Structure 1
Amino acid sequence: MLHPSCRCLPSLLAGLLLVLAVAAGAPTMAQEGAAPPAETSAEQMDDLIRTLEDDAERARLIEQLRLLAGARAAADDTPARYWDSLGATVLAYLSAQSAAIGEQANEVAAAVAELPSLLAWIGDELDSPAAQARWRDVLTNLAIIVGSSLAGLWLVALPLRRRRKALERRATETALGRVLVNLAAVTITLVPLVVFALVAYVALTLIDPRQTTRIVVLAFVNGILVRGIIVAAARVVLSPTAGSRRLLALGDETAAYLYVWSRRLATIGVFGWVVAETGLVLGMTDGARDALLDLVGLLIAGMLMVLVAQNRRTLADALQRPRHGRPVGVLRRRFAEIWHVLAFAYIVVVYGIWLLDIDGGAAFALRATVLSALVLLAVLALFAGMDRMMTGGLAFGDDLKAQFPGLEARANRYLPLLVRAVKAVVVVVAGLAVLEAWDLGGFAFLSSDAGRGVAGRVTSIAVALLLAVVVWEAISGFVERRLSGVDEDGNPIAQSSRARTLLPLLRKAAFVVLMTFIALIVLSEIGVNIAPLLAGAGIVGLAVGFGAQTLVKDIITGLFILIEDTIAVGDVVEVGGHSGLVEALSLRTISLRDLSGSVHTVPFSEVTTVLNRTKDFSFYVMDIGVAYREDADQVIEVLKQLGAEILEDPAYAQQILEPIEILGVDAFADSAVIIKARIKTKPIKQWFVGREFNRRMKRRFDELGIEIPFPHMTLYFGEDKKGEAPPAHLRFDADAAALLAPKSKAARPAKAASGD
């Protein structure tokens, strides 16, 4: 079986195809031409001429032909309409083919029945003195001519063997070098065969044997030449002892294995045919010769089945092995599981065609097999070249990668997709070529109306896909450039929240729209009527519009909010009675996270008013309350000093956009005078700056003795017209005092002591 060291699956397939091609050629040598048509006799031609020359006879003949034509038309009126149908045509074809195959099967059975006659002929030849003399003459001349030819071959081959071994030891790295070395190897291999043929024909001319002996010797000489050419071709292609000049990427053991099988099949096929044909010359019956050829074909078919069975697991493992890090596809995995079944079926079908001697079947099978093998080899070679180009030919240098890190990924973004598309086209063309090789009308289908229609639809789909890719790439590139833009110094440009929110949504919406249009175009091109689909989509949309009005309202409101840039990710807003930091925006909802960490998901349909606290900039507004006895001007001056001090702190100065703004005395509260001020900051930084300002203000007010009043109540009894306050009369109730005694200071230590 094949060794696991096989380095490349295409090369393994190529080697197996080479062996199958060698085997397919042998049985076709026995294929006979079709029987010539029967000839018209001279008497019949003379009668027809005399009838046409006589006017009366000619008129009578025309009348008879008219009557026959009318009767035939009347009789065949209904069957003519019947045979026009496709099913009847197929049945008629199958019936005719079944009859032909039945006749061929009878001939095969007759040939098998001739096997006893083969044994009887051999016995007669051994018993007959004349046959013995003929055999002695044939074998003697055959030994002399073939022996002298082989001696000449060996005399020439021995000096060339050292040259051939030197070529085998010569290492070549380039493909051109391997081709040149193999051309030299072909020359060295064919020279001894040429010498063999020259010696054989010269010896045959000098000896000048009888006609029967000459035919037998020529058959064996030509068989040896054909077998030698086949073996030489297999040796050059497989190079079992010279891996450096091997055209196929095979391991040494695998190449030797395939070479051995090529020699076996060539030897059995060629010499089996030679023996059968020479036996016919020497007196073997036609039936015995056909039976012998059937046995040779059966032996070759059995050997091929053994070859397939030996490599069933190895080739399946090679087919299922991932290549270039890509997983194995479903079709390839299934083919790996059943490839041997297909190979067995192919061998049986080809052998059946040859065995039944279908007119032109063997030659047709050989031609179709060789052409299919060549097409497959060309496809494998093209795929290998494309993969090699992808891995090495289009790679970027290290300097270019270092200078432009993202250039290679951008330049090769759609290259794998393009390679897959080209491979798909190659596979389609190869499939058509294989169908054409088997006379199934591959390329003829393209020239038909149906083929042109299919080609036009495929072209339309390909153009639509190409345009969709171009549009998608333009939109995606625009979004990526906007989101990852850099300045002249290479520093990233900070994007607005609106851009970070809308651009990804734009890309998603473009993807959905493009996929929808592509799906409709593809369905239309493959023959599906999309009008009902569009009508159904309209009805579904209408039903969804009525049944999901809230959803539609959510989407429309959200779309306008996003377009108007009312809210963006990172803002602090209040919507629908909820407030917090905007974490995410979709076309339907807004997600807020409040100060405690809770997430609020608010549908846009509930948003009637939006309060954005961090739009472009923010203000920290302060209502500072001081006691009525404090000097308002002094307090305002202290606030200005605190505003100047906080601007000198780098940690806070970069967050403040403008100095503190004192708006003045704003209101008189119950126990304080309210002075209003504000600080303009960057978005979301107002609380950070305001808390620090409050800390400093509390500390400065404590230092200066500025009172920040707390709520208290003052009792005012009023004044008379003279400006004197009336006296306040107080009365103490002893009973009330006794009730309050446990709560007095004197009672507290006693209560504490009793508690211990």
Structure 2
Amino acid sequence: MKKFNQTLTITVFLLFFTSLLGIAFGAETNETVPIDDAAEKPSTALVQDLKKIPTADAETLFKESYFHRFIERGKDNLSTIGQRLTSVISKYAEIPAEVTQALNNLNGGKGYGHFVKIILLFMLLLGIGFGAERLFNIFIKKHKQQLQSTIPDSFLQLIARLSARTVLELISLAVFALTIVGIYVLFYPAQSPLHELAMIYLPPILIIRLAFILLSTLYSPAAPHMRVAPQNCMSAATYFMGFMTFITVSLFVSKTLLLLRSHGLSEGVFLLLYAHLGLFQFFILLAILWMDRARITRLVMKTPTDAESQSTPSGNIIQRLWFPLACAGLLGFELLWQVNLILYQKDLVLPLLLTILSIPFGLLLFSIGNRLLLIASGHTELLDPRIVNQDILPKDVDIAALSARANVALPPEPVSALSTDGSPGQEEPLFVRNLPLIRNLMGILIFCALFFWVMNLWGLDLPLGRSVVQSAASIFATLLLAYVVWEICRTIIDRKLEEDRAQSGLDMEDMEEGGEGSRKGTLLTLLRKVIVALIGVIVILISLNAVGINIGPLLAGAGILGLAVGFGSQTLVKDILSGVFFLMDDAFRVGDYIETAGTKGMVEHISLRSLRLRHPRGMVYTIPFGDMGSVQNFSRDYIITKVDVRVRYDADIEKIRKIIKKISKELQKDEETGSLLLSKIKSQGVREMDDSAMILRIKFKTKPGDQFVVRREVYRRVQERFRQEGIEFAHRNVTVYLPPEVTGATNGDDGEDYADPGQTLDKKLLGAGAGDAAAAVSQAMEADQKLK
């Protein structure tokens, strides 16, 4: 605040100093400068001619200045206002006599008895209308009670019930109006004394009744659960009674004054009484602001309700000054209306009233737009009328306990992008993430529209403002239509994708080499991206056209630019075209396990120019379509798996075949593996015989991605059955045979130890045998690796 005062003081000082300099320089320029003292003297004839030109004095220039004209005009206006005020105030003493004379003229000089009779006939006419409406309300009472007896489950249900109740009340009002008009036409001629009274007061009565219906729908003071406005009962009752009083008194008093004016009431008395009506309206609006100032302060400042949070200094300043500023604004509008009424006889009540009401009307539009945004974003739980509005409760109220007693759930906390364990959660849609930005843009658009509308009310036609509002409205309508089209397309595509996933049962995280992907899902995902790009381009072009930019040259330039980019980015074009042909050939889908460009992995994502593969160990490969070449797909139709089993040479092959046959029958009956097998598990007999074992082969056919489950179960059951039947698996070994004479020569006849020359030979033979055995084992292992 101190800095603000310093800045304001410096600004005022600079303006004052600049004004002084302007006056000083103006005074200097008005003085006569001796021409003879010039540095370069002109000719004598020119000097004489210049001396003949009269110099303007400061007083003449001041009288011709704009500031002087403004002061003189202000003096004239003040003088006129003073004269008019004196004339109007002098009419105070004439009010009783002129009102009496006007009533006598209205009565036709027949006395007060005849006037009271006319009023009683009019009241009787109104009573008959209210009676007919009461009878109609008896018939629809049950329906209205059903609409208000229970709490709506959602905001949409609340709107539906309010609409139905409003329709019933409008029908009741129509019964009231038709009854009065019918009786009046049938029993009272047009020349009757009641005719003028009915023509004057029946329209205001219908307007007041219609305002009562609309305000009851908005504020609903008697039924809080049916209230649209986010206000408590006290605030809703204040606004309802205040606006009804404002409308009723304004209409009846203005119509009465116009009626008396048409029957002889003088202009001065009429303006004086009409000015009092304006003062009454001013105090009504001021009373509404005063009684609801606490809630308005919370709405404007969003005052925190907890003791820990603290407001900012600027917030404290606005919190203290908004009510005096609002009162000053209302007083300024009132003085403006009074001055125009007295000075120029211009009734500005409609522009002033609409200007004042534009603020709550703008807030109402913003509230409705906010509700529509919440519905569009899917947060309809925040619109549940059963949820307690925390902004309208005192600070010491326990919200949770109050909601528990009302059997109402509090609004959920905002969804975080991370789950409870810190891992990435479900990402919110783009529209939901940008909801605050969209809400702010909507508020700016509403403010601009109301601002230029108020300017138009006061006769200030701003072509720029009108064009800006029209362009903004066109862009907003385009965005809204584009969003509706996108939501329809997205909903249809997402529903098809969910149906496709449900039918295929695809779970990428549980697959080692991926299952069979869906062609429909792959194409729908790409179609969604194409639709987003197409809608974005169309919206941009329409928006540019709305702001007055000719998009024809842009389109032509885009074509030339696209041609240049096409020549400069041949690799990009190659990748895109290759991807299109790969998809047309249905070479792979999202979820397929493929091998291409020397890389294996599951297809995780397909873009316009590249393919993203996820390796079984988690690595991610991004491969452009132009570099792929041939594609080996492991996820199409079926997979044939072959399992090798090593048994000893003395194993019974027929017995093993029967064991495999029994295992096949058991797995086909099993709930887990039966649905995964596409054929029987078959034994193909002895495939190969190596140095230490017979190699038997088992094969089976499964769906892509399910072969690992079946293979694991086959291994387990074969091992169990072989152990039960006494069949041993063959292990890699090498048998070394030594000649008999070598073994006999190693022992002496007398059992004595001596250095035998053959002992060295035995060691060499044993070493050679061990080397041969190691080489044989190594060769067998290399052969198995090649087979795999």
Structure with larger Rg: 1
Select the structure with the greater relative contact order (CA < 8 A; seq sep ≥ 6).
1
